[in-house]
Structure 1
Amino acid sequence: MAGGKVVHFEKQKLEFGAFGGDSNLGKAYLARLVDGSFSSTMGAGILKLDGCSIPWTLLYDEVCVVLQGTFVLELEGETIKAGPGDTVWIPKKTPVVYSGEGAQVFYALYPADWRQREGNA
């Protein structure tokens, strides 16, 4: 098979770690699924947000699909509240604040090596 092998990520085997490593973030957990060990072009994972607020400026293009709860994305002068089944596209260099209430969000990003490209490796 070109490009590597197919990988099945079983829901019950996902490992979530605290997102950002900062206790001030509240309840934010991340399960990285696709990273540089799988793909040189894209990344993907699941983010859980509950009662927290995470400011960030994207260094990659990202698409988010809400799996459960309410995902809130604050932009300059706009707030998007997305529910289960909703999809949000966020272009590179967009300053945002991620938050949510019982939210689980699948995300995919490009490029996977954004840290190296931005000098954050």
Structure 2
Amino acid sequence: MKNSTIGLVTLIKAQDIEFSPLGIEAEVQEIALAVNPYSETMGGGICRMKECNFDWQLRYDEIIFVQSGSMYIGHNGKKIEAAQGDIFFMKEGAKITYGTDTEVEFFFSTYPVDWKKSKKDIVYEQTGEDLVTLIKGEQIEYSPLGIECQNGKIAPVLNKISTNMGGGICRMKKCNFDWQIKYDEMIYVSKGSMYITHHGEKIEAKQGDIYFMKNGAEITYGTDEEVEFYFTLYPVNWRELQK
């Protein structure tokens, strides 16, 4: 099955995601900018690495969800280590090292999607400020999802620390609820399976699949079993913009 777009909802199936080399010396080093062709706001996709590292300066804000394995970010002389279930938030301008002493797969989101063009002439002043935040999975606090999902819970952990993208983790079990999204949203299914209903179509996804949904989509989030998914959205202040 190829990637499918119905109205304002695109489903990118794991088996159809195409990876390209990162361009560094390593046995495994590949990246898939899976969401970029569909989005005018956030970019995103999946990266895989094994026993390697490389230096980089961010020209965008970036969110990383560690799906499997472990990794680190080097920043301001510190090695900030993360394992499965942990989340990084990194601000534009950060000089960092991406690395793993073993191997890692992570889902990432970036803003803006067009940073290569819009940010190419920017020179960043280095102030020594810490521009990297690590959120440990075991410290994440969830709140009830409410609505019709009594078994649902959500942790929008990035909303309080980001000025561009919001995001976090959601868990649901045998429930569904209707919603009209007032932002662009990316979802990576980290465990289980789920569906998005849009324009009368039930668009089903399982672990490793990615949804991209555009502002204004009228949808139903649901799962017939149970699911955990990572999500990012833009803009983080969408509620304020509706007032």
With the length of structure 1 as denominator, give the TM-score of the two structures. 0.86
Q: CA deviation at 1:46?
A: 0.5
Contact 2:60–2:110 at 8 Å: present in 1 too?
yes
Letter in 1 for 2:69: G
5+ residue gaps, structure 2, are 1-6, 122-243
Which amino acid letter does the alignment assign opposite residue 27 of structure 1?
A: V
Q: Distance in 2 between matches of 1:26 and 1:59?
A: 27
CA deviation profile, 1:7-66 (whole Å, cap 9, x unmatched): 11111222111113x4x355210011111x311111001010111111000000000000
Secondary structure in structure 1 of the residue aligned to 2:93: coil
After TM superposition, the structure 1 stretch with the greater mean CA deviation from structure 2, 24-33 or 10-19, is 24-33
1:85 equivalent in structure 2: 85
User: For residue 44 of structure 1, what is the aligned residue in structure 2?
Assistant: 44
Count of residue correspondences: 114
Matches within 5 A, 1:1-121: 5-20=8-23, 22=24, 24-35=25-36, 37-100=37-100, 101-119=102-120
SS at match of 2:10: coil
Matched letter for residue 112 of structure 1? V
Residue aligning to 2:125: none
Residues in 1 aligned to 2:13 and 2:41: alpha-carbon distance in whole angstroms: 22
**How far apart are residue 78 of structure 1 and its match?**
1.1
C-alpha separation in 1, matches of 2:82 and 2:67: 10
Residue 5 (structure 1) shift = 2.6
Which of structures 1 and 2 has the bigger CA Rg?
A: 2
Q: Which has the higher contact order (CA 8 A, sep 6+)?
A: 1
Partners of 1:26 and 1:58 in 2: CA distance: 24
Within 1, Cα distance between the matches of 2:26 and 2:48? 12
TM-score between both structures, scaled by the size of structure 2:
0.45
Moved segments of 4+, more than 4 Å:
none
Three-state SS of the structure 2 residue aligned to 1:102 is: strand
Contact 1:72 1:81 in 2 (8 A): yes
